[in-house]
Amino acid sequence: MRIRELSRRSGVAIPTIKYYLREGLLDAGQATAANQAEYDEAHLRRLRLIRALVEVGRVSISSARAVIDALGRDDIPPHDLLGIAHNAVAPTRRPDRDSDQWRAARRRAGDYVAERGWRVSPDAIGLDQLADTLAALESLHVTEMLNGLDAYAEAAQSIARVEVANVVARRDPVRMLELVVIGTVLGDALLDALRLLAHEHESAVQLGADRPGRPARPDAQPEIC
Amino acid sequence: MRIRELSRRSGVAIPTIKYYLREGLLDAGQATAANQAEYDEAHLRRLRLIRALVEVGRVSISSARAVIDALGRDDIPPHDLLGIAHNAVAPTRRPDRDSDQWRAARRRAGDYVAERGWRVSPDAIGLDQLADTLAALESLHVTEMLNGLDAYAEAAQSIARVEVANVVARRDPVRMLELVVIGTVLGDALLDALRLLAHEHESAVQLGADRPGRPARPDAQPEIC
């Protein structure tokens, strides 16, 4: 297909495609004339992955290139490929990680994951993020959440099990990576949205509001079931 | 206590406390001399809530004031107070919500929540956010996640149930709101971190890597249990 068709099918504007070509994220098409090239389905899949990385994952061009390069090597097993994609999408290091408090939280994060029997690299970015959150919860004295990590961990694992199974089922490495990137970013957004809604529902149930989103009548009585 | 002690116990710097006083987020202390005031435990709790809103929730001063003002009124039932806090912390409206595609996604979001029997206001911010994510997943053709919403919804509800119970158990409205704000923001961060770690674990399990975070040996065989 020509670049116009590639643009139409991928939803990526032609100038942006040309930019990705210049940056080496997308391989050049097959030249058919002095100023024309032909693209194929592999270009389309690659472009969708780039779009997932750059537009959805808000990954820098250099991080996107690291993922694309890893994809081109055949000595990296799928589990490590997914790790590379994950790390590219994960937020960058925050500045406040040099305190004793943070290092203590980091150790607790490692211990917690070990207790759960999770097979996780000792330098996983997720451990740093978990330590960030634990340190913040401690400084704010939110003991309920610190003591209730299991509820979060179980929910996270139940989702991760389904998500990884979906990734594995795609088989094709490019399409697997695409789902890792999209799944990480949009999965977070999906969960946040549903959690917000579930909060409203649970609040209505547990605080006995008589109608969603409306103030409960002052004389409202708890329902007797 | 004097302002120095209030600063030490709350972890909020004195100039920042003075700023909150000027902005009317924090009530003035009891004047004890021309240039001195005495603060009590209520000031400390309020300051922790402001800190949760502004520093953790990254809420604007005017949104924080809306939450604080609602807290001062005794005609707003707890369920609605939590809704006000939620809405203050929720991300602001994105620009791409005028398309037919988005409106269709918004209807699907409403239908989905109704199918689950969740008691949610028809104009809940979470429905808009859910529609954002559904529309993005559709434009990227991620059918696995679109067809697998239940896994996310169940995980979200299991966490929300615990979180709302924790909020209700605090009884004092200021401390309840504090936990809603912190819980919404840091709960998202906690879940994201644990999900990242659970992905690595599940990837190791499902793709049979022999060791966390290390490339599997090329000759590695699946374990036989």
Judging contacts by C-beta atoms under 8 Å, the chain B residues touching residue A111 are none
- Testing the interface with A: which of B45, B87, B152, B186 to mutate, by most A Cβ within 10 A? B152
Q: Is the backbone of residue B90 left (phi > 0), alpha (psi -120 to 50) or beta?
A: beta
pLDDT of residue A219: 37
Nearest Cα to Cα of residue B160 among B224, B106, B86, B88: B86
- What's the pLDDT score for residue A96? 66
For residue B102, list chain A residues with Cβ-Cβ distance below 8 A.
Answer: none
Checking if the pLDDT of B197 tops 80, the result is yes
Residue whose structure tokens are 């697997």: A176
Nearest CA among A86, A94, A73, A68 for reference residue A124: A86
pTM > 0.95: no
Chain-centroid distance, C-alpha A96: 23
Residues A191, B97: Cα–Cα separation, whole Å: 20
What pLDDT, on the 0 to 100 scale, is given for residue B33? 87
CB contact under 8 A, B80 and A209: yes
Q: Give the gap in angstroms from C-alpha B45 to the nearest C-alpha of chain A.
A: 11
Cα three-residue angle A205-A208-A211, rounded to 5 degrees: 85
Provide the ipTM. 0.74
Q: Where residue B56 falls among pLDDT bands split at 50, 70, 90?
A: low
pLDDT in tens, chain A (225 residues): 999 999 988 878 899 999 999 988 999 999 998 888 999 998 988 888 887 777 766 778 888 888 888 877 777 777 777 777 777 776 655 556 778 888 999 999 999 999 999 999 998 888 998 998 898 888 778 889 999 999 999 999 999 999 989 988 988 777 777 788 778 778 888 998 899 899 889 988 888 765 444 443 333 333 333
Report which of A217, A196, A216, A181 is spatially closest to residue A56, judged by C-alpha positions: A181
